[in-house]
Amino acid sequence: MSLHNVTLHVPPKNKLSGRLDVLMMVSGFLLAVFVGMHMLFVGSVILSPSLMNGLAWFFEELYLVQIGGPLILLVMIGHFILGARKMPFRQKEYIAFRAHSKMMHHQDTTLWLVQVATAIIILVMASIHIYTMLDTLPITAAKSAARIQHGSWMPFYIVLLAAAAIHIVIGLYRIGAKIGFVTRANRPAYRKYMVYLLVATAAISFLTHVRLSLLSI
């Protein structure tokens, strides 16, 4: 198929498009901060299940969970819709996108395609996670451990965490590139930082799952 016969889905460059791009970056950054805080919250079980229970009680007493859960889901859906404006959903768009990416050997374009795939995974699986969490309040270390030990949720959370970590790390890197923080000169260094962040995230997630797997319930 000739690339000249394929029209890519690219939103027109105007003020509205620019503002939507900024809104997408802001919502993405806020979601990244939330995921980081959520990971630290669940990871508190590594130090002590009582610490996790205490934090959960505090959040629920202030209705941060009951209100924050649906709010985060809405922000996530909005962020996905903003990003979907540029996603190559049609087969012709995807073929042209991949062809141009290979022709230009542009790694950042490939990273964006990875973001598209992980975004779809996150939207589906995070929605299930939020619904399950709100439907089984209060949050406790014992309930989390039961899901891992007896609820067959381990593969689910591994996929969700992996997709979220990859999506967020690439997203932060691309935000830095768009605002000029990541330049052509320091780009290789920041790609290494991406790997370091992924390794740190994987380590915390691994220790959290091990602790929950060994927790007496």
Nearest to 163 by CA among 191, 124, 204, 193: 124
Please check if 9 is assigned to a binding site: no
Q: Which residue has the tokens 């903003």?
A: 82
CB–CB of 60/139 below 8 Å? yes
Residue among 158, 141, 153 at smallest CA distance from 205 = 158
Amino acid identity, position 170:
I
Q: How far is residue 211's CA from residue 192's CA, in Å, rounded to a whole number?
A: 29
Quote the crossing angle between the two packed helices 187-214 and 15-43, to the nearest 10°: 40
167 assigned binding-site residue: yes
Structure tokens at 161: 């965490």
137: left (phi over 0), alpha (psi -120 to 50) or beta: beta
Is 79 annotated in a binding site? The answer is yes
Task: Give the residue ranges of the annotated binding site.
Answer: 38, 79, 129, 167
Task: Give the residue ranges of the annotated binding site for heme b.
Answer: 38, 79, 129, 167
